[in-house]
Amino acid sequence: MAKLLTVNLGSGAVAPEELKPEWSDLGGRGLSASIVAERVDPNADALGPENVLVVAAGILAGTAVPNGGRLSIGAKSPLTGGIKEANAGGVCARKLANLGYRALVMEGLAAEPSVMVLNASGATIKPAGDLWGLGTYATIDKLRAEYGDAAGIICCGPAGEMLYANSAVITTTPDFLPRSASRGGVGAVMGSKKLKAIVIDDTGSRLVEVANNAALKSAVTVLTNGIRTDQIMHYLKDSGTGMLVTLADSMECLATKNFSQGRFDGNYEISGEKMAWLAKQGRPGMEMKHHCMPGCVVYCSTIFSDANGNYVTSGFEYETLGLLGSNCMISDLETLAKIDHLCDDIGIDTIETGGAVAVAMEAGILPWGDAEGAYKLINGMVEGTEHGKLIGQGTLVTGKALGVKRIPVFKGQCISAWEPRVLKGTGVTYCTSPQGADHTDGNALPGMSYDASSPEGQADMSKDLQRYFAAIDTLGMCLFPALAINPKVMLKKKLIEAAGAILGKKYGPDYLDELGARVLAVEVDFNRRAGFTREDDRLPAFFVEEPVDPSGKVFDVPVEDIDSVFA
């Protein structure tokens, strides 16, 4: 059976154990939530020794299920004060599973900067003073040089070391590029523990257990074909998630000018289509069909180079383009790419950072659309400038300190680049998700028989999606193929069969719904014990009172509907 490895960074004690029977069918977000709920006092200081940092692989990790290798990072959040799981692609979930572990739990605080090395011989904690203060790119380079190409790396950047609430945990792709588990300040939890990095090398170890290989193989064949042939996955492959910029603009729900507009004149300039055009023009080094993890069959990731072919950034995604682009009225793609590189290098969440920069623009700290000014403002985090320090503490702190009334946060976390007055089911998810505002928890996009902008039926839509994506995050599957699977009964059936084949169980058609509900119940209960009430499930007033341009819509889902999601 897969194991749990608890490492006490204060004492150096390392304790492998079998997963408890009640956790044996959990991975990723569900396992992380269960560990945090059991081991962390909900009222504990998120940056103190009582908090834990969970690193969890999903149920699918290390198997042949396509896109099944997301890595979950969990903790009590220093940004929201509630429970948090942020996930990313990369190689580490697969390596963890190959070593026979479903999760690592980092407890206590190290006395000095440290790196934990995990391989088939066990776990070792080593001093890492030479890494402290380095950006994530340099950290990854140094650790790769020391531990070789078989290593997967998880690290925090200077932002995490400086305990900024917008800081992320960075992990590596097969080609050692950074991917970010961004949300909720999980990088600050890692930094507070003086844990600069975790290195995972699975050489010689293939301990992933599959109870029924034949059943898994049959399910995987159908899933792989179903995802590969999905039209939206083709669009993602061609233009990356940046193609969502023009789509959201056409639906009048692209976060623009601190959520005062749903359309942005410069949308094409910061879109995936523009990146694809640059690649087609022969810009050297541009790559549109990159994959962030082994087993991906979608290839939505991008590598962005400058006009001379020099690498600038990778994983240059919709949310970054929306929050730091349209939401700040920035249409300069080249500088946006440099900002994305900076954010990855110092290890911060581009959503939270983009939200903070936009409220700073609204306060008049810098002009709308000032890309170079935004770069300098963000870089001020590591230089310790007055405004840089504010940005690092997130959108809410920045907005309050600068006297801005329109602050787009829920439970202390900035919303993503989807306008909730137009996408009202997404708005309900922002309100009610125990993770704080998060599009990955249930983004309700318009469909054939679903009106996203009606005030009716949104609570049920949000509830269904929140359960589905909580289950997907527990399985460790990437969000994008999960979008292809959700509406297709046969693919959903095969995903359920795949999970059953791995765990040796026979699950019914409601498995994903039940799994998601179980995970959400743990998270909601943690937040309740941390002091969250119904009042924390309300939108900032401006979404209710101020029509968004040009649709003229306000958020008008009845409060009793919102409260019915977790009744």
- Size of interface with ligand SF4, in residues (CB under 6 A): 12
**Cis bond before residue 550 (omega within 30° of 0):** yes
**CB-hemisphere CA count at 13 Å for 84?**
33
Q: Please, which of residues 415-434 interact with ligand SF4 by CB under 6 A?
A: none
Which range of residues in 12-20, 147-155, 294-302, 491-499 is near ligand SF4 by CB under 6 A?
Answer: 294-302
The whole-angstrom separation of Cα 215 and Cα 237 is: 29
Cα atoms in the 13 Å half-sphere on the side-chain side of 80: 35
Q: How far is the CB of 418 from ligand SF4 (least distance, A)?
A: 17
Asked if residues 512 and 495 have their Cβ atoms less than 8 Å apart, the reply is yes
By the rule CB under 6 A, 298 interacts with ligand SF4: yes
Single residue of 93, 153, 210, 300 touching ligand SF4 by CB under 6 A: 300
Q: Are 184 and 97 in contact (CB under 8 A)?
A: no
Q: Does residue number 478 form part of the binding site for ligand SF4 (CB under 6 A)?
A: yes
* 293 belongs to the binding site for ligand SF4 (CB under 6 A): yes
Q: Which residues contact 470 (CB under 8 A, 6 or more apart)?
A: 29, 30, 441, 515, 516, 517, 519, 520, 523
In angstroms, what is the minimal distance from the CB of 181 to ligand SF4? Answer: 12
Q: Which stretch binds ligand SF4 (CB under 6 A): 29-37, 215-223, 285-293, 558-566?
A: 285-293
Name which of residues 57 to 86 contact ligand SF4 (CB under 6 A): 67
Establish if 475 lies at the interface with ligand SF4 (CB under 6 A).
Answer: no
Of the residues 36, 103, 296, 548, which one makes contact with ligand SF4 according to CB under 6 A: 296
Q: How far apart are CA 356 and CA 165, in angstroms?
A: 12
Subset of residues 237 to 266 that bind ligand SF4, contact rule: CB under 6 A: none
Rounded Cα distance, 494 and 485, in Å: 9
399-414 b/e (C-beta count within 10 Å ≥ 16 → b): bebbebebbbbbbbbb
Nearer to ligand SF4, 37 or 465 (CB): 465
Shortest distance (Å) from residue 337 CB to ligand SF4? 18
Q: Which of 243, 288, 292, 357 binds ligand SF4 (CB under 6 A)?
A: 292
Closest CA to 390 of 444, 381, 382: 381
Q: At its nearest, how many Å lie between ligand SF4 and the CB of residue 62? A: 15
Nearer CB in complex with ligand SF4: 128/417: 417
Q: Given the rule CB under 6 A, which of 293-301, 416-424, 446-454, 525-533 is the region that contacts ligand SF4?
A: 293-301
- Which of 23, 480, 542, 543 binds ligand SF4 (CB under 6 A)? It is 480
Per CB under 6 A, 89 contacts ligand SF4: yes
Nearest to 183 by CA among 458, 430, 424: 430
Sign for the CA dihedral angle at 438, 439, 440, 441 comes to positive
Binding site for ligand SF4 (CB under 6 A): 67, 89, 291-293, 296, 298-301, 478, 480
